[in-house]
Structure 1
Amino acid sequence: MKSKKIVFVLGMALFSALFGITASMVQADVVQLTYSNFFPPTHFNHQLAESWGKEIETRTKGAVKFTYFPGGALLKGPEMFDGVIKGVSDIGMSLFAYTAGRFPSMEALDLPMGYPNGNTATMIANDFYKKYRPKELDGVKVLLLHAHGPGLLHAKKEINRLEDLKGLKIRCTGFSAKAAAALGGVPVAMGQGGAYEALQKGVVEATLTPIETLKGWKQAEVVKYTIECYSVGYTTAMYVIMNEKKWNALPKEVQKVFEDVSSAWIPKHGQGWDQADKEGREFTLSLGNKVIPLSDEQSKLWASKVAPVIDEYVGVLEGKGLPGKEYVQFIRDGIKKYGKK
């Protein structure tokens, strides 16, 4: 009998080694987790969320299972952070700009710094968090960050010069609202979910948003022009976070799987934003809409107009004892580093 027990134990050890399953994974009950985001089910970010979860399910051999709630079905974008803290959803994806003022350090990422593409913005966002670990994100487990490509101006009327923006009602969020005002427009705070109808009905006349929304959110159907104002291209940093208690309850080896998969999915999100921007451009052109590049003179003028927005941010943070100037320089260095790739 004793020899049979030894053989059985050795057999189980060999099974675990062969299939990469630790004893705790085999013995533990399946962990059921909910994952919420505000993107529609067809959006690539939701699709990446699902593939992220499936990869974790695969690597944990089914020890973790996810149920997804896209399109704000469980939590709307502005409710996401608190909803995850309270356990309404175990995991959530949303953006910092939906709760302006709550994340003063992370807001540096949303400044109109002239981001060239989404991959650059995404890599900078993750580098920024890893370096500074802002206390404002205490209370949740940050799994990964990502950020869209340059926010550009899309309008119902043709715009070639700064003067054309005077009095223009522009849908925006976060710091893009300040940029819109600095450029002479009238900012109208609004999430993406309401942008299509607002443009369609004339509640707003333009929107500051990455070009991917022209296809991903069908907004090309309700605008006629895209203005390539890359010199003031902003981004919107987004988070994927997990309820801290749920995170702490996971076995260490499962936590490692989460971290490994999240790290691998960072460039997938960055590249996804760039591919989505390409598709958004193609889609709007296919509808007969026009893409208008700004002249060098106008690009410099627009950049000079939004510079005070950046300066104001630095001053406010320095007044709070936070290194606002260092944050801005870190981002500028990141644009030089990743923008060349």
Structure 2
Amino acid sequence: MHVKRVLFLLATGLLALPGFLLNPGDGHAKAYTFSIFFPPTHEQAIAATDFAKEVEKRTEGRIKITPFAGGTLTKAPQVYDGVVTGISDLGNSCFAYTRGRFPVTAALDLPMGYPNGKVATQVADQFTKAVNPEELKDVKVLYVHAHGPGLLHTKKPVRKLEDLKGMKIRATGLSAQVVEALGGVPVAMPQGDTYEALQKGVVDGTFAPIETLKGWKQGEVIKYTTECYDIGYTTAMFVVMNLKQWNSLPEADQKIVEEVANQWVNIHGEVWDKADEEGKAFTLGLGNEMIPLSAEESARWRQAVEPVINDYIANTPDGARHVEKLRALITEASK
């Protein structure tokens, strides 16, 4: 009896190891871990989990991916390095959570006026794969997606630039520079810490897509959303795989994974747009106010953030080419 229990515990423990063979006699059937920074109930965590299920289905069980959502395996800022070092086999988080680490893909987060999540996602994936930056050569990039236009959500109303002066605003990556350009004080933190920071007054507001008001429950701790669509930035999110584990896959299975990944780009984009609609309904349902900007005021905001784009161009190798490519991709995807 004791022998059987020991064997059972050994078997289950081994199965939990990243990349361990499910069946020692079958070199193709393997188990992989997938670290996802979104909380388990978030629509994007569900979409990523569905990606894992679809890969398992299409490979007829040869690849089994177990998701670990909510930062339970690696915290949001550690997800990328966790994949590189093998703590997890796959990972999903934001490039911007490791500021300065990804200078080329940082272009995606510029305040380019992304119209919606589907366009932002298509542009993010196409740009990353076309440029194929050196900064991502230590992983296999499966796909990239990006949220809809980042807007300003605050506890006090912001109707004009002057209202934002001196306010502490949660932001990450290049959106922190956007906050500064607009006169606010950026405070860096991942989404998972933002609710409590707003609740306790550590920050006065947050720059984020409107979906966060429901998806991360932040609508409960803000009162106003300033609809600054003309400077709508995005935050690009990666889904990457450990390079050694990727290279160990048979070519046929690599092809299947890439096919599913390409399909999931649009799925994530559609999920972002649906989530934005739900986030807006959620915050309005709480009695919060949406503040539109006049054309004149929007022009002031655009002018205020133009130095952020110019600074990227001046301080990033091939920065001008990256920005030009982004603008072309946004125009094409918006048709």
2:130 is paired with a residue whose SS is helix
Deviating beyond 4 angstroms after TM superposition, the runs of 4 or more aligned structure 1 residues are none
Shift of 1:27: 4.6
Shift of 1:339: 2.0
Indicate the residue corresponding to 1:326 in structure 2: 321
Indicate the residue corresponding to 1:167 in structure 2: 166
What count of residue pairs does the alignment treat as equivalent? 311
Q: Deviations over 1:36-85 (max 9, x none)?
A: 01100001111111111111111111111121110000101110111100
Indicate the residue corresponding to 1:227 in structure 2: 226
Indicate the residue corresponding to 1:243 in structure 2: 242
Indicate the residue corresponding to 2:89 in structure 1: 90
Give me the CA root mean square deviation.
1.0
1:71 is paired with a residue whose SS is coil
| TM-score w.r.t. length of structure 1 | 0.90
1:35 is paired with a residue whose SS is strand
1:160 is paired with a residue whose SS is coil
Work out the CA distance in 2 between the residues paired with 1:305 and 1:29. 55
| 1:260 and 2:259 matched | yes
Shift of 1:263: 0.5
Indicate the residue corresponding to 2:48 in structure 1: 49
Q: Deviations over 1:72-118 (max 9, x none)?
A: 00101110111100000000001100111111110000011111111
2:324 is paired with a residue whose SS is helix
Indicate the residue corresponding to 1:14 in structure 2: none
CA contact (8 A) 2:145 2:265 kept: yes
Correspondence 1:27-42 to 2 at 5 A: 27-42=26-41
1:299 is paired with a residue whose SS is helix
Indicate the residue corresponding to 1:16 in structure 2: none
Indicate the residue corresponding to 1:194 in structure 2: 193
Work out the CA distance in 2 between the residues paired with 1:334 and 1:59. 31
Identity of aligned residues (%): 56
Work out the CA distance in 2 between the residues paired with 1:253 and 1:27. 16
Shift of 1:293: 0.6
Q: Deviations over 1:155-190 (max 9, x none)?
A: 001111110011111011011111101101111111
Structure 2: unaligned runs, 5 residues or longer:
1-24
Structure 1: unaligned runs, 5 residues or longer:
1-25
Amino acid at match of 1:125: A
CA contact (8 A) 2:83 2:91 kept: yes
CA contact (8 A) 2:52 2:66 kept: no
Work out the CA distance in 1 between the residues paired with 2:125 and 2:67. 24
| 1:148 and 2:147 matched | yes
Indicate the residue corresponding to 1:213 in structure 2: 212
Amino acid at match of 2:281: E
Shift of 1:29: 4.6
